[in-house]
Structure 1
């Protein structure tokens, strides 16, 4: 055992990277079995049959103000009859998540080697993937991915560029750098309301911090705040928002929304912090933070936050992600917005650890870990990534060939509808997916031909026959 531990310590980042890549590979593998469903079909139809500006105008006036994601959803690969590209999109998103984390860590500090930053990037990507509340709608469904997860990826790039600006490490020059940040801010704000509200909130916090501490960055944060307000107003004042909200009765109940959002915020946060991999990574972060705090002013000054303020911010960002759903619809409904909450929680969690560790720096809580403790902690983290939460669902789906059965049924459905004889007037029957893979499955058609899920197929394939599940 001691020899094994010695090998681990000698090649720790190489071995860790190999293990993390192996754990991520099933997430990539299962992407090849994903299929378009629900909103994918209706938005792809709009993308195929109407002009881009015509669709964007209609959505803005009649559905929502998401000017950026409304563009991306109509550019669904199946609008161009490319199911292959549709299946490649989740793979691309996972890879870009890793690369975005790498860029993010690179912007924070130059103290770590490339191999170390790459390992950190894989760890944080898996921290997100293995525990995101609803992975099927977050990664393996195009409409959900470009509306929500794309914002997470772009947020990392936005934060990385902001860190670089604060350290005067500009891309080409200062003005181009600021323009890139504002363009990213524009896109992110137009993807979904929860990331829009959180960005507005966090930029405002940055503005207050810069003024209170008389930082030279205050003009930069004033500029960001002005643009954030403008972009948020474009989303908020869209006429389509009121049309969409009118479909839900008993909404806009302030007290009920506050109470329910608070309960859900506490529930999710306590669920997330009980994650074994997060606890293990948090222990190791004690040493990483020491390095950051020695080299980087922002970390040395604990982001200019007091512990009480940083903890309040942690709860606030999750609350901001949950409140809009209760306010607009009186239910939490789908948890795609909670995926965003968890992503923001991860970032804010480690900011909190920096604040707390720095505050208690004079009283070391964690002595140097023994090699055996490091080895078994990393081993436990890797096992937890692989066989708990989304990792467990993933290997269960693969072990029982659920993804293959799902792919066969969905492929058969698409082939039948693509080659459908429109002279045939009878009802079209499809078998319900009997044992759907949890990692991929979202919703399916019902025995009601008027269900919006069923109608999606009618619209996309231009078929008038009733489509029902048997």
Structure 2
């Protein structure tokens, strides 16, 4: 049965309220570790020399290093640092809305697309493995969350340009080409997935239409060019020599990545919030003949195989580089892409069920069992591991506020300290949603050195306490 506009509005408002604590918490974040490293380098070397040094000596992530070289900390703006996180949440919501618009081809009202966008955004914020590096740490955000947002925007524009004449213009095509080049410079996961998706897209265009338009070729060339710039950066090879051992058995790495990807997908698919989203997509697709027609032409084996391949590739890269399970911030972005791919697969599977599933649902007395379903979903949500609960607890307890005040007080102390060496006590308030590291008692530690350089000191360290 169709849902009334008032219920759609209520659902959107509820989801907005659930996301709001994540936004509010942005304004209590404080810079950590690599934030100071990139800001000092940009300030001391300048933008262009900084990019040259990063590319030659450390990394091929030319897009991410460029973003970090103009982050608000370079201009001593803590307010801008925090505002950037809040703006990014809005940008990610917008990119998800555009993707859902492209995937549903105008079969959903704008309220419905907004609800699904908010629901998917909340699910990702609530369940990412490490919220701190996903949302409240500039070095992680610029490298991973910005990359994820850019990739969703790229995919949305590719689909819209291809299927809707309204979007088939030079501005959108130019944006696709620019994103095709820049995405490869964000991180290795996005580089690989962008290349794989663009290769799949251009192959599909050639097989189905027996020809390739100049736009298709230009897009693939831009992706390939960006990939080459990223992969063959001298800094990658310099870093591998110093930090990583790549002499590993590739088949053993592939097998470990395969097992890890299956284990993670099993966990992610059983999150209560995921089950709620799956149910919403299922009910929406089977009740809309237009959506069933869109996804009914896609073979389940192909869609599921593509999702598995994308996740395996995303796991293989960090396994090959480090020999270990991906770091939390890498798992964050893999989970984000997995959730989008899972919802597409649910739509494909639901489209095959069609009228029998719809008839079954219509025979269920909604008024009688509606309360039971809502109560069951509420219990599921309460049982899950929840970043929403963590953030809300930090806000209501005052830990986020106390942490922000304590860090700003330390910042004021180090700025006004006349001595060239500054010592301080360790952080006393450590909100689980924001804090992961400050400085150590070793003044020569790289984090201490970056912190000292940013504030113009020769050295900084924690006070060594007697046992």
Does the TM-score normalized on the shorter chain lie above 0.5?
Answer: yes
Residues 189, 232 of structure 1: 8 Å contact kept: yes
- CA distance in structure 1 between the aligned counterparts of 2:81 and 2:159, rounded to whole angstroms: 34
Q: Does 1:167 align with 2:160?
A: no
Per the alignment, residue 329 of structure 1 pairs with: 322
Q: Does 1:38 align with 2:24?
A: no
Q: Does 1:234 align with 2:205?
A: no
Structure 2 CA distance for partners of 1:131 and 1:252, relative to 1, 3 Å: farther
Residues 446, 454 of structure 1: 8 Å contact kept: yes
Aligned match for 1:137, one of 108, 114, 133: 133
Per the alignment, residue 101 of structure 2 pairs with: 106
Unpaired stretches in structure 1, ≥5 consecutive residues: 1-7
State the shift of 1:450 in Å.
2.0
Higher alpha-carbon deviation: 431-440 or 59-68 = 431-440
State the shift of 1:223 in Å.
3.6
- CA distance in structure 2 between the aligned counterparts of 1:12 and 1:73, rounded to whole angstroms: 42
State the shift of 1:435 in Å.
4.5
Higher alpha-carbon deviation: 88-97 or 390-399 = 390-399
Residue-by-residue CA offset, 1:221-255 (whole Å, 9 max, x unaligned): 44432321111011000000011112235434124
Aligned match for 1:348, one of 341, 346, 351: 341
Residues 296, 348 of structure 2: 8 Å contact kept: no
- CA distance in structure 1 between the aligned counterparts of 2:370 and 2:182, rounded to whole angstroms: 41
Per the alignment, residue 3 of structure 1 pairs with: none
Residues 93, 117 of structure 2: 8 Å contact kept: yes
State the shift of 1:55 in Å.
0.6
Aligned to 2:180, the other structure's residue is in SS state helix
State the shift of 1:177 in Å.
2.9
Per the alignment, residue 145 of structure 2 pairs with: 149
Residues 21, 391 of structure 2: 8 Å contact kept: yes
Structure 2 CA distance for partners of 1:334 and 1:451, relative to 1, 3 Å: farther
Aligned to 2:86, the other structure's residue is in SS state helix
Unpaired stretches in structure 2, ≥5 consecutive residues: none
- CA distance in structure 1 between the aligned counterparts of 2:98 and 2:67, rounded to whole angstroms: 24
Aligned match for 1:438, one of 424, 432, 435: 432
Residue-by-residue CA offset, 1:405-450 (whole Å, 9 max, x unaligned): 32122112211111121xx25x533222345212112322222222
Q: Does 1:299 align with 2:269?
A: no
Per the alignment, residue 386 of structure 2 pairs with: 389
Matches within 5 A, 1:85-234: 85-108=80-103, 109-171=105-167, 174-214=169-209, 220-234=215-229
State the shift of 1:155 in Å.
1.8
- CA distance in structure 2 between the aligned counterparts of 1:52 and 1:296, rounded to whole angstroms: 50
- CA distance in structure 2 between the aligned counterparts of 1:273 and 1:230, rounded to whole angstroms: 35
- CA distance in structure 1 between the aligned counterparts of 2:348 and 2:210, rounded to whole angstroms: 19
Q: Does 1:447 align with 2:447?
A: no
CA RMSD of aligned residues (A): 2.6
Total equivalences in the alignment: 457
- CA distance in structure 2 between the aligned counterparts of 1:384 and 1:451, rounded to whole angstroms: 44
Aligned match for 2:76, one of 78, 81, 103: 81
Residues 269, 275 of structure 2: 8 Å contact kept: yes
Structure 2 CA distance for partners of 1:431 and 1:19, relative to 1, 3 Å: same
